[in-house]
Copies of this chain bind each other. A is one copy, B any other.
Amino acid sequence: MNTCAPRPIVVAQAASASHCANCDARHRSVCNAISTDDLERLAASAIPKVFAKGQLFIEEGEKAGDFFNVTRGTAKLYKMLPDGRQQITGFASAGHFLGLAVSDTYAFSAEAIEPVELCRFSRSKLRVLLDDFPALEKRLLQTACNELVAAQEQMLLLGRKTARERLASFLSTRIAEAAACGEHGSTISLPMTRAEIADYLGLTIETVSRTFTRFKAEGKITLPSRDEVQICDLDWLNGVASGQDHHAFA
């Protein structure tokens, strides 16, 4: 069974306490552009939904009728070629806004890689919200700019970095994201499989696995469990990630 609510569920509250007011992801999502007083307006347009691991909830090429805001869990965003080759363009976790596209069809697919909770906005309802709350639009533009910067960084990775550098960049980014969320440990947990890491980094499963093994053999990381990585030498990791010593052999 896929149960998706490991935290206490707040059921059928009085109308005054909207689900938006209780949302853990609010402060880190675009919704923080809406003042507390206006949260009910927001809550009226946002329909909470839950998807089990493996469920596809955005499909490339389909009519783009809805926007989503992830409040819990992680989804992979990806594009595919007709013969099945897949490129994951990003992982969306709590606070991530999905569907930013002017076109009337989705440009990518999205699938839950662990139980995902999100809020759904219809295109039309979002338009009304944007007209009523210019701050929300500003916030959305900011978000889009940040994603653009991340996308450029990923292009550098995919176009010019070696397998070692790609995996180091991936781990380095994850550590930084965890730190930004207040988790300052040296261990990160990876909700995605090796196959998904490979599809994100433009590599194969085997190369990802071998590179993990080599990092471990070099004493730079440990692998406490299948989905945990402990970074032993963060400076070294960041150095490799940024492409220093491409041809050094230390």
Residues of A bordering B, CB below 8 Å: 77, 79, 81-83, 85-87, 89, 100-103, 107-108, 134, 137-138, 140-142, 144-149, 151-156, 158-161, 199, 201-202, 242-244, 246-247
B160-A86 in contact (CB<8A): yes
Report how far A83 CA is from B202 CA in the complex, Å. Answer: 22
Given contacts A141-B144, A243-B85, contact A151 B149 (CB under 8 A): no
In the complex, the chain B residue whose C-beta lies closest to that of A243 is B81
In the complex, the chain B residue whose C-beta lies closest to that of A201 is B159
Report how far A138 CA is from B81 CA in the complex, Å. Answer: 32
In the complex, the chain B residue whose C-beta lies closest to that of A107 is B149
B149-A147 in contact (CB<8A): no
A145-B100 in contact (CB<8A): yes
A159-B158 in contact (CB<8A): yes
